[in-house]
């Protein structure tokens, strides 16, 4: 979203003008950036910059009447870095790819992390839910080889000792990695029966745990927040009257 907000003129700064407003300061904590335009000749520049930055990674909605959205180009990664990452993944016995954006899989990811020898992080930003990529939740770098693939340099977590850091569009870089791995590996998949069996076991256990949680929350009135919405969604309503409230049920 791009918000064009009004503000008092610069001549009224510190003079308590009528309808004083400091929009640029008020929105600093909730916006990518704010800027107070003081030269009308620069209006078009700042509006266009705001539109571009609003859809740049991480993207967000833009609302400006009569204006189109700029198309942001996607970028591939430096080929030599892709080759390094492909070499490490091809040689790994227990590789693991974790993709997401601050997604926290409680009780699911921990066992896999402790067993993996090479971990590729794709679009996963460090935060409290990720324990800032620090032990004990995340194995130390002397035990596990880490690779990072992020859209921008700001997303790279420098606190994680990574063997290779790659910048670029996740979709394009993963395609690069796929081609590089195909060139390094035979047509048949690398045999990893023990590792694949362990992954399948953890997935099955997680699915069972989730199914149990869902069964205990389904059919509640009011609807439980854990119950997923099905698609398509059907709504059934009772006809309102003076004594009967409107009831909406999602099924």
**Residue 109 pLDDT:** 76
Same structural domain, 117 and 205: yes
What percentage of the chain exceeds 70 in pLDDT? 78
236 found inside a domain: no
Same domain flag for 112 and 194: yes
Same domain, 185 and 156: yes
173-220, pLDDT tens digit by residue?
999 999 999 998 877 778 889 999 998 998 898 889 888 888 888 888
pLDDT in tens, 111-145: 888 899 999 999 888 887 788 898 888 999 999 99
CATH number for the domain including 153? 3.40.50.1220
Please tell me which of 12-16, 108-112, 132-136 the model is most confident about, judged by mean pLDDT: 132-136
Tell me how far apart the alpha carbons of residues 148 and 98 are, in angstroms, rounded to a whole number. Answer: 10
* Residue-wise burial string across 174-205, b where 16 or more C-beta atoms lie within 10 A, e elsewhere: bebbeebbeeeeeeeeeeeeebeebbeebeee
Predicted confidence at residue 244, as pLDDT, reads 41
State the residue range of the domain holding 10. Answer: 1-72
136 & 166 share domain:
yes
The β-bridge relationship of strands 145-150 and 118-122 is parallel
The average confidence (pLDDT) of the chain is: 78
pLDDT at 116: 94
The answer on 83 and 116 residing in a single domain is yes
Percent of the chain having pLDDT more than 90? 28
């Amino acid at each position: 979203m791009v918000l064009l907000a009004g503000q008092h003129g610069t001549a009224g700064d510190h003079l308590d003008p009528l309808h004083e407003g400091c929009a640029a300061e008020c929105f600093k904590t909730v916006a990518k950036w704010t800027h107070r335009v003081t030269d009308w000749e620069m209006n078009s520049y700042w509006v266009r910059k705001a539109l571009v930055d609003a859809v740049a990674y991480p993207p967000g909605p833009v609302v400006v009447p009569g204006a189109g959205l700029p198309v942001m180009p996607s970028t591939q990664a430096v080929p030599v870095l892709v080759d390094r990452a492909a070499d490490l993944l091809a040689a790994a016995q227990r590789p693991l790819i974790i993709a997401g954006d601050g997604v926290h899989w409680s009780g699911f990811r921990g066992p896999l992390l402790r067993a993996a020898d090479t971990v590729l992080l794709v679009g996963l930003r460090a935060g409290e839910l990720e324990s800032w990529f620090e032990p004990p939740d995340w194995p130390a770098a002397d035990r596990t080889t880490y690779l990072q693939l992020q859209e921008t340099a700001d997303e790279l977590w420098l606190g994680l000792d990574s063997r290779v850091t790659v910048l670029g569009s996740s979709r394009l870089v993963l395609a690069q990695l796929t081609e590089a791995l195909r060139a390094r590996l035979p047509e048949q998949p690398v045999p990893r029966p023990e590792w694949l069996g362990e992954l399948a076991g953890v997935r099955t256990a997680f699915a069972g745990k989730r199914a149990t949680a869902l069964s205990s929350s389904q059919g509640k009135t009011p609807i439980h927040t854990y119950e997923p919405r099905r698609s398509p969604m059907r709504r059934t309503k009772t006809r309102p009257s003076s004594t009967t409230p409107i009831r909406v049920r999602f099924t």
